[in-house]
């Protein structure tokens, strides 16, 4: 059962997730944590059973009904260069991957931060930040994981899946939430010590579904095809555009990447 007590039981971090706020329903856990950010402690974790205004990337909605899924956001009150914020999203993807690997083997990352199973999306991550004098005052990492949803509406069922749909088993949302926090803190410490993703690049690329595959890159309204080669220590994707000898770096936020034949 998803409850504050059960979430706390599954967290064994030093800072992140030491304070937990559980809500039966909120508009968006990202919005909720932003409202709490000035008084909230570093590492504050907000988890809701449902969101009535769940936010996805690019201004999209994130459907967030009661009872089945994880909607979680946590607060990082470190002063980081805003240019490094995309790396936090990369780390969050690695943390979710590690958390759900316990339940399913064939799970991958789609650059930069979607988690995919069977060619469909099982998790989305939305990172937001507030900056003050050239550094972040805080970063909010919002994670939505499709855990026990039994089916999706016709318009998204080809693109979205859940752990339940893929395994036929109900999974414990509190346990997965704890596993995400534990893994995130582990990766985040490495990132903060190093100041880059240098020590995490290999692990990320080993789990990247796009690696050595052809992708369609959308950039400034134009599209071209390329082969994805993996990320570098800044989280940028290295690609070799078709018909070009040179390797090019692309940044999340500036381009979107999908498979040549579909989502992956």
71-90 binders of ligand BTN (CB under 6 A): 71-73
Among 17, 40, 86, 142, binds ligand BTN (CB under 6 A): 142
In the complex, minimum distance from the CB of residue 8 to ligand BTN, in angstroms, rounded to a whole number: 19
Among 125, 180, 183, 229, binds ligand BTN (CB under 6 A): 125
H helical segments located in 59-196: 85-101, 163-167, 173-194
If you ran DSSP here, which 8-state letter would residue 236 be given? P
Q: What are phi and psi of 95, to 5 degrees?
A: -70, -40
21-60 binders of ligand BTN (CB under 6 A): 28-30, 51, 54-57, 60
* Residue 216 CB partners (closer than 8 Å, separation 6+): 223, 224, 225, 257, 258, 259, 260
In the complex, minimum distance from the CB of residue 153 to ligand BTN, in angstroms, rounded to a whole number: 16
H helical segments located in 69-156: 85-101
Gyration radius from the chain CA atoms: 18
In the complex, minimum distance from the CB of residue 56 to ligand BTN, in angstroms, rounded to a whole number: 3
Q: Residue 252 class from Cβ within 10 Å (0-12 exposed, 13-18 middle, 19+ buried)?
A: buried
Q: Mark residues 144-183: x for contact with ligand BTN by CB under 6 A, - for none.
A: x---------------------------------------
Task: Return the range that interacts with ligand BTN (CB under 6 A); candidates 121-129, 171-179, 185-193, 230-238.
Answer: 121-129
In the complex, minimum distance from the CB of residue 246 to ligand BTN, in angstroms, rounded to a whole number: 31
In the complex, minimum distance from the CB of residue 245 to ligand BTN, in angstroms, rounded to a whole number: 34
* 126 contacts ligand BTN (rule: CB under 6 A): yes
90-to-155, 164, 207, 215, 255 alpha-carbon distances in Å: 28, 25, 12, 19, 15
The span from the CA of 214 to the CA of 225, in Å, is 7
Q: Name the residue number minimizing CB distance to ligand BTN.
A: 124
Give the count of residues interacting with ligand BTN (CB under 6 A). Answer: 19
In the complex, minimum distance from the CB of residue 19 to ligand BTN, in angstroms, rounded to a whole number: 17
Three-state secondary-structure class, residue 66: coil
Which residues here bind ligand BTN, judged by CB under 6 A?
Answer: 28-30, 51, 54-57, 60, 62, 71-73, 124-126, 142-144
């Amino acid at each position: 059962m998803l409850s504050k007590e059960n979430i706390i039981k599954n967290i064994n971090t030093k800072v992140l997730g030491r304070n937990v706020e559980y809500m039966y329903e909120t508009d968006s856990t990202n919005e909720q944590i932003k409202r709490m950010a000035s008084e909230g402690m570093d590492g504050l974790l907000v988890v809701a059973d449902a969101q009535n205004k769940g936010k996805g990337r690019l201004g999209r909605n994130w459907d967030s009904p009661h009872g089945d899924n994880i909607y979680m956001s946590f607060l990082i009150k470190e002063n980081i260069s805003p240019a490094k914020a995309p790396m936090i999203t990369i780390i969050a993807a690695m943390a979710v991957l590690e958390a759900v690997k316990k339940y399913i083997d064939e799970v991958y990352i789609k650059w930069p931060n979607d988690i995919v199973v069977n060619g469909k999306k099982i998790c989305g991550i939305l990172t937001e930040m507030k900056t003050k004098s050239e550094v972040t005052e805080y970063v909010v990492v919002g994670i939505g994981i499709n855990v026990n949803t039994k089916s999706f509406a016709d318009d998204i069922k080809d693109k979205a899946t859940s752990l339940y749909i893929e395994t036929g088993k109900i999974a414990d949302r509190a346990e997965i939430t704890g596993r995400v926090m534990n893994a995130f803190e582990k990766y985040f410490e490495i990132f903060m010590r190093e100041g880059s993703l240098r020590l995490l690049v290999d692990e990320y690329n080993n789990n990247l579904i796009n690696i050595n595959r052809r992708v369609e890159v959308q950039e400034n309204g134009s599209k071209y095809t390329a082969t994805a080669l993996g990320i570098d220590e800044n989280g940028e994707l290295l690609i070799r555009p078709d018909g070009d000898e040179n390797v090019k770096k692309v940044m999340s936020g500036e381009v979107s990447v999908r498979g040549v034949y579909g989502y992956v």
